[in-house]
Structure 1
């Protein structure tokens, strides 16, 4: 499935209810953490931090911060050094970020203001990460995210927790709805709105199934990313592109770049 279809995702639409968008992001954060989806890329991210001398991560397009708590924990465990994280998004999920801040004893902070990943404020300096969100952007915008990191001489890591395989679509259609119904009462921080939009008016599971399907169809392949990098004006950068194997058999797509 090498072709990319840029269909629309509900969470990208300005008219889509913010409370439902937040609920969908909370579901994904919970699933990503329980499955340990991004554990395989921690050694690669650690290497990028070492090469750039950074202990600060700027997490872009964070949604509800899916996976960043576990990634931060693994980074500190493997490196034996403290790592600070600032999560940002165009539509900040402050309730989720406050929860992550509390869970990390303040090591994970957040920006309350909207942050554009193609024009990150200069004061937000650190190794940039994009988890489960790069597919939201059309090629020109995706390349602009990479180019902005290069322009500001910051390292960047892009990670997608799927392989763009047909069997993943079947999982989204046949398994995800039932899983969401089972896990929703256990998602923290607890909100009544999440229960309402799951069990009474099931916009959250329907939204996750639709956006999950479109996400897989939108996803870039390593070949797409390689072509994108070649168009960048970044002769002083080194790039790593590939798939890291997850225990489930899914390949976690990664692109990591930093100045030499």
Structure 2
């Protein structure tokens, strides 16, 4: 299911949009690391990071994916290749406590909508209180025709 979603995100050009937004924030904040919160099994961020590496001055940016419940499969998948500068943190990371997360641009890509209103508020307050940049990206508009979803997604 995740692979199918990633294919659809690729068709929509999500990685290019994300890479451009992330590059702009990284340059303004003078950062070379992205800490993705609530990564699950990876989602759009690995492809976005690879796209980001193609942008001038962004080749050395690292992506550290995190989750409150990191899966051994995701850890193994992303930690086997260090050349792509993408890794998955093995220890749990609580997105509601941004001050305790590794340093870097915090991102939440297609994961913020899973948060309860209380947790979402706590994440935003934590980012503000710790004065750390947080980029939240949600696909707000679904332009994929319903029949494509019906044909491609398992019931």
Question: How high is the TM-score relative to the length of structure 2?
Answer: 0.83
* Cα distance change on mapping 1:31 and 1:74 into 2, 3 Å: same
1:86 to 57, 64, 71: 64
Which segments of 5 or more consecutive residues in structure 2 lack a partner in the other structure? none
What is residue 73 of structure 2 aligned with on the other side?
95
Matched, 1:66 2:39: no
**Kept in 2: contact 1:26–1:96 (CA 8 A):** no
2:16 to 19, 24, 39: 39
What is residue 106 of structure 2 aligned with on the other side?
128
Determine the C-alpha separation between the residues in 1 that align with 2:22 and 2:135: 7
Determine the C-alpha separation between the residues in 2 that align with 1:37 and 1:104: 24
Alpha-carbon deviations, 1:219-254, whole Å to 9, x = none? Answer: xxxxxxxxxxxxxxxxxxxxxxxxxxxxxxxxxxxx
* Cα distance change on mapping 1:128 and 1:159 into 2, 3 Å: same
Alpha-carbon deviations, 1:145-185, whole Å to 9, x = none? Answer: 1221222221110001231x6x66x62xx3224224xxxxx
Which segments of 5 or more consecutive residues in structure 1 lack a partner in the other structure? 1-23, 181-204, 207-260
Q: Which has the higher helix share?
A: 1
RMSD: 2.4
Determine the C-alpha separation between the residues in 1 that align with 2:117 and 2:94: 16
Question: How high is the TM-score relative to the length of structure 1?
Answer: 0.52
